[in-house]
Each structure stands twice: as structure tokens, then as C-alpha cells.
A and B are shown apart, each in its own frame.
Chain A
Amino acid sequence: MAGPRRPDWAKRGLFVLCLVPLAWLAFDVANDALGANPIEAVNRRLGDWAIRLLLISLAVTPLRQAFHWPQAARMRRMLGLFAFFYVALHVTSYLVLDQFFDWAEIWADVVKRKYMTFGMLAFTLLLPLAITSTDAMVKRLGGARWRRLHRLVHLAAVLAVLHHFFLVKVDTTEPLLYGLILAVLLGWRVAKIKATSKSVA
């Protein structure tokens, strides 16, 4: 067994990798490379990476089992937390850059617009998952309860994809692609549950 003190280079590498989209965005902001509507561009870019990381974190378990790659489990929490990190930045950019704390407008948006309702709901569902992501919290909740709670991520991912889909005006290629990937990832889980229950029976 590896000693607890040995640095985990794969994990560190992934940490840096997850910060690349943010660094890239910061670079574009600094170089005024975001076009005529930089606020919209910042918000879109953060949202894109939030949804991508959410899907990547959901792909960890299927990939781990398909490729017999147990080490991948170590990456799951970090990917999940980075997904939440980009979601939080995306929401912040909406509240601050886009609406500039116009709470009346923000509330009206969330209540009236389907895509906003879905988006905010997804964010709200992810919030307790981020809070309970520490080892201490896993212990406190107990493995079974913790796992049940963290199944909310599936619902959050569905809401996130719908949020993206309903925002797009005409070209739905990208949200449909994310939807397809999510369907595969969730479908794999359903198939897995069915297979297990069959083998038990």
C-alpha cells in the first residue's frame, strides 16, 4: 500500500487541469478577447464548463467499472467539487455581472422562466452535496444515507441539461449532445441496478 505521505501526482495534475478553463477565461478577459458582449460570454463560458464537469464527474463510476480502473474513484470528489465550483461562478456571474443585484428582476426571472427555474433548482440541489462532500460529513451521515443524498446529482444534471436546452434559440445541437451523454450515463446506472436485482432474484 502506498504511504499516506506520498504525493498523488495524478490528483494534483487533475486539479490543475480543472483550473485551465478558468485561467483561459481570465486570460481572455484580460486581453479583451470576449467580443462585443463580454458579460454574456463570461456567463456562457462558465455555464458550459459547469455542465461539462458535471457530466465528466458522472462518467467516473461507469468508466471505472468498464475499464477496471479502481484508482479513478479518487478523482470523483474533486471533479464533482469542481463542477460545483463552475456552477457557483456561473450563478455569481448572472447575479453580479448580468443582473447587478437587481433582486426583483432576478426573482421574476427564476419564477417566470422555465430555464431559469431549472437552472436555479439544479444549483440548489448541488449545494447540500458540496457541503456534505468532506470525509467528516460522510462519516456523520453514514455511507448509505450519504449515497442516497448524493443521488440528487442525477436530478441536478437532468435539470442542468434542460436549463441549457430551453435557453438555446435555434441551434440545439450542443444541448442535445449533452442530453445524449447524460442519457447514456444514467442509462448505464439503470441497467446496472436491473442487472444486480436480477442476479439477486
Chain B
Amino acid sequence: MLIRRPPDIKPSEITPRGLYLDRRRFMLAAGALILLPGSAGAALRFDGAVKTRWGEGLDITSVEDATSYNNFVELGSDKSSPKRNAAALVTRPWSVTVEGECLKPGALGVEDLLAPHPLEERIYRLRCVEGWSMVIPWVGVPLGRVLQRFEPTSRAKWVEFTTLHDPQRLPGQRRAVLDWPYVEGLRIDEATHPLSLLAVGMYGDELPAQNGAPLRLVVPWKYGFKSIKSIVRIRFSETRPKTTWNIAQPDEYGFWANVNPEVDHPRWSQKKERRIGQFFKIKTDMFNGYASEVAHLYAGMDLARDF
């Protein structure tokens, strides 16, 4: 349905990239001097992110669609309201606490959390439990590498993630439609799987608020609700975390939530999905097409029971 119009500016008229980047650096420096509280600042582009093989040949969803059709109840309960309410979520400064069964717990700024690792761009399919999907170029760091720095102990069998709980910045939390704050969890081998990504950006830019700024999880073989947004706490634990949608409707949203065309949602089939931007539905693949990478994690598990 998206009609692409040719750009009305000739490429030759655009400021050369080097100059533009220099100017941005200058603006940032100026911004740092002035230190305007609450100023949004210029969006940083993650130009340096390392391209990866993930997503080769996939048609990327338009950035407009990916940033205007969102499930983020904390910013509104329908698909279009998260974008409308995005301004409420101020993400600077942002601190993340890492705690629980690890030798080096701590609280650090989101920049410091990711600083030691080179940023990567990964194009992943995103399959929502509601039956639609997108293809999104994320920018982030493999979660496992970040977790290792905190030296999880042998008791760290699970990892729990928590979203910011602040009804001022996340006005959707003023209504108790879910048990706030949002909590998600992974088994440690899922969390440290090379596909699991801790994302700070998409489409080469910072994450917009409605997509989970400034830090979110991306677990591409699971339904979208596992990929928790706006994370403030990561906790290693010996017991399985209690997760938000699973608490709300355990018969509809399982803890594992692996994409599985054979296991229906009680209210709809999961055999097909509507790829946003396409008319005809397409077949949903086991583990969202990542079976060769992740199927071994679930060897011997009854995926119909542990859905």
C-alpha cells in the first residue's frame, strides 16, 4: 500500500557525509557544554555498526510502518498511540541495574553497558503473537556478551528483564491493564544464544520511544512480546521468572512463546502471518525461520505443552 515517491532532492545537493557528521559532532559537543536538561538532542546515527549476514535477501519493512504500528501498552493500548505518546518517555539519563546470581552486579548507564562491544546491525524477522510480522534492521550487541561481563554464577539458570516503572514517563502504566512493571525472562542458554540481541537502535538510528528506547531485547525466534522494551533491570536467577503476559493470561501467552505454526493461539491460528506491507498472508515458519539455529535448545521438550 506504500507508495514510494522519488526523492525531490538530488543526491548532489545533499551535504557530503563527512561534513554532516562533523557538524553533528560539533552540535553534540555544543550540547554537552550547554547541558540543556531534557533536551532531546540530535539523534545519533549508528553509522559504524558492523553489518552482519542476518537477514540477507529479506525485504525490510518501511521505517514508517515499523515506528507507527506498535504494541507498547505502557505508551497506549492500541497500535497507533505509542507513537503519539512517545514524547513522554524521556530516556536520558538511563541507568540499568544488573543483579542477582552474578559475581559483579552493578548499575550503569546504558552507554557504559554497551560501550565495550562493537555495535552490529542485524536484520531479523519479528513475528507478533497477534499474527502480523515485520522485518527490522536492529542495531545492538549480542546479549550473551554483555551478560558475561557480570560473571553469572552456576546458579544463574534464568535471566529476568524489567521495563521502567514510571507512570509519568510511561503513562499507560496509570491504568492497571497489566501487572506493572512489565517483566520478561529467558533461560540462560536462550539469553546467551548468539541470536539474542540487546538493541539500542533500528534503521541505523536510535530506537524511537515507541519501539522501546533506549534499550530493548530482540529474540527473533519468539513472539514479539518476549522482546521486552525500555529495560532498566536485568537479574540472574535460579528460578524461572514470572512474566507479565503469562501472569495475565496463562492459557494464551506461554512463558516460552516460541514461534510455532503448529500450536494455535486459543483465539486464532498461528499457521500464517500478515507481513506488514503485503496483501497475501504468508506461512509462518517454525521458530520464525530460525529453527536451524535454535531448535536444539528445545530438544526433548513438548512444544505443544510448553508453548
Do B267 and A115 touch across chains, with their CB atoms under 8 A apart?
Answer: yes
CB nearest neighbor in A for B73: A170
- Considering only residues 1-42 of chain A, those with a C-beta below 8 Å from chain B are 32, 34-40
Chain A's closest residue to B280 (CB) is A100
- In the complex, what residues of B have CB within 8 A of residue A169's CB? 130
Return chain A residues, CB-CB under 8 Å to B2: 32
Counting CB contacts under 8 A, is B77 at the interface? yes
User: Which residues of A sit under 8 angstroms from B279, Cβ to Cβ?
Assistant: 39
* CB of B25, distance to nearest CB on chain A (Å): 34
Q: How far is the CA of A167 from the CA of B267 in the complex (A)?
A: 8
Query: Please, how many residues of chain A have a CB less than 8 angstroms from a CB on the other chain?
Result: 21
Bound-state CA distance A10–B229 (Å) is 53
User: How distant is A41 from chain B, measured CB to nearest CB, in Å?
Assistant: 9
> Is the beta-carbon distance between B68 and A36 smaller than 8 angstroms?
yes
The distance from the CB of B84 to the nearest CB of chain A, in whole angstroms, is 12
* Interface residues on chain B, size class: 20 to 34
Does the CB pair B73–A37 fall under 8 Å? Answer: no
Taken residue by residue from 102 to 138, chain B's Cβ proximity to chain A (1 for < 8 Å, 0 otherwise) reads as: 0000000000000000000000000000101000000
The stretch that binds B, out of A85-93, A106-114, A120-128, is A106-114
With a cutoff of 8 Å between Cβ atoms, the chain B residues found around residue A35 in the complex are: 65, 68-69, 79-80
Q: A35-B79, A170-B73, A170-B248 are in contact. Are A105 and B271 (CB under 8 A)?
A: yes
User: Nearest-CB distance from B154 to chain A (Å)?
Assistant: 38
Say whether B1 faces chain A, with CB atoms less than 8 Å apart.
Answer: yes
B38-62 with Cβ < 8 A to chain A: 61
Determine whether B281 belongs to the interface, using a CB cutoff of 8 Å to chain A.
Answer: yes
Instruction: Check B269 against A37 for contact (C-beta < 8 Å).
Output: no
Q: Residue on B with the closest CB to A112?
A: B264
B79 to chain A, nearest CB (A): 7
**B residues near A113, Cβ cutoff 8 Å:** 266-268
Q: Is A166 an interface residue (CB 8 A)?
A: yes
* B73 cross-chain contacts in A, Cβ below 8 A: 170
Q: In the complex, A117→B68 CA distance in Å?
A: 32
In chain A, positions 41-75 with a C-beta closer than 8 Å to chain B are: none
B177 contacts the other chain (CB 8 A):
yes
Q: List 28 A-B contacts (CB under 8 A).
A: A32-B1, A32-B2, A35-B65, A35-B79, A35-B80, A36-B68, A36-B69, A36-B277, A37-B69, A37-B79, A37-B132, A37-B276, A39-B274, A39-B279, A40-B132, A100-B281, A108-B269, A109-B268, A113-B266, A113-B268, A115-B267, A167-B267, A169-B130, A170-B73, A170-B77, A170-B177, A171-B77, A171-B175
Interface residues, chain B, CB within 8 Å of chain A?
Answer: 1-3, 61, 64-66, 68-69, 73, 77-80, 130, 132, 175, 177-178, 248, 264, 266-269, 271-272, 274, 276-277, 279-281
